[in-house]
């Protein structure tokens, strides 16, 4: 089975206008979308029942497509093709936190899209916000043998404590069982914020799934609680709030360097 469980850490650090940082343990699932039936047959702890300890349902993801009956894998390929002009035809792995006890929210889910020869060709980032429940999609192109390192104009309101007129710098490192994601937010020459996700793949089995659920019994509730707790801490620190803006479209593709490289060192 290509699918795996993932455990590790997520951390955030704000540099301006108020310093702020936190770090949490995190448990995730990295699912090969071709193995959905195998996954559902693995254990009663993970099924289609909405209130299961872990619930897998395609229509939780890319709902504009999947709730119209389009398979998730085809929806991912359509978005990647729209952004990059090329459609990866190999396997797709989704790194995410499934629905837990009826609750579901992912700040970001990552789709690792491969070519027929197994080479990683693109990464689709499905970003959500709360409480607006909006979605946006960033597509990272992957060059053969090159670093996975791209810049994006921010097109989507995620946090009321960060301005819209910024740029993201996304970097990915995928080595064996290790998955590393690093995202920075820049405004001109100033780095305002950075977030990191570091997880390690672990073999997926019924016993491993039982241990995973015991270690992370309330994944969605923990994620939402952490978001609002950190928001309260930022309010107490007097961090300025920026008004919500509707998404600028639904899809963005990156570039290898920022528009003005002299500002970002």
The DSSP string of 172-208 is EEEETTEEEEEEEEEETTEEEEEEEEEEEEEE--HHH
Give buried/exposed letters for 8-22 (b at 16+ CB in 10 A, else e): bebebebeeeeebee
C-beta separation of 201 from 3 below 8 A? no
Backbone angles phi, psi at 37, to 5 degrees: -65, -40
* pTM, rounded to two decimals: 0.95
Q: In angstroms, rounded to a whole number, what is the distance separating the alpha carbons of residues 162 and 154?
A: 11
pLDDT, one tens digit per residue, over 97-138 is 999 999 999 999 999 999 999 999 999 999 999 999 999 999
Q: What are phi and psi of 3, to 5 degrees?
A: -65, 155
Share of the chain above pLDDT 70, in %: 97
Closest CA to 54 of 42, 68, 72: 42
Taking phi first (over 0 means left), then psi (-120 to 50 degrees means alpha), and beta for anything else, what does residue 102 get?
left
Write down the pLDDT at residue 258.
77
Residues paired with 203 in a beta bridge = 4
For residue range 161-212, list pLDDT tens digits in order.
999 999 999 999 999 999 999 999 999 999 999 999 999 999 999 999 999 9
Confidence of residue 259 (pLDDT cuts 50, 70, 90): low
Element (H, E) at 20: strand 20-32
């Amino acid at each position: 089975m290509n699918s795996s469980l993932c455990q590790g850490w997520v951390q955030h650090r704000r540099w301006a206008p108020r310093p702020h940082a936190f770090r949490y343990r995190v448990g995730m699932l990295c699912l090969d979308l071709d193995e959905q039936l195998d996954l559902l047959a693995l254990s009663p702890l993970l099924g289609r029942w909405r209130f299961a300890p872990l619930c897998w349902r395609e229509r939780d993801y890319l709902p504009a497509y999947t709730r119209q009956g389009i398979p998730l894998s085809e929806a991912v390929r359509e978005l990647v093709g729209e952004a990059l002009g090329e459609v990866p035809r190999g396997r797709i792995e989704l790194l995410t936190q499934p629905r837990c006890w009826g609750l579901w929210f992912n700040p970001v889910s990552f789709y690792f899209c491969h070519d027929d020869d197994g080479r990683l060709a693109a990464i689709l980032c499905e970003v959500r916000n709360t409480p607006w429940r909006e979605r946006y999609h960033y597509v990272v192109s992957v060059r053969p043998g090159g670093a996975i390192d791209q810049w994006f104009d921010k097109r989507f309101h995620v946090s009321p404590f960060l301005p819209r007129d910024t740029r993201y710098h996304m970097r990915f490192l995928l080595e064996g069982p290790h998955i590393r994601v690093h995202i920075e937010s820049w405004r001109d020459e100033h780095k305002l914020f950075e977030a990191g996700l570091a997880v390690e793949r672990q073999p997926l089995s019924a016993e491993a799934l039982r241990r995973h659920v015991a270690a992370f019994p309330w994944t969605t509730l923990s994620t939402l609680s952490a978001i609002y707790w950190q928001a309260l801490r930022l309010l107490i620190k007097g961090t300025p709030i920026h008004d919500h803006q509707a998404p600028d479209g639904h899809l963005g593709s990156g570039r290898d360097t920022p528009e003005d490289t002299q500002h970002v060192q």
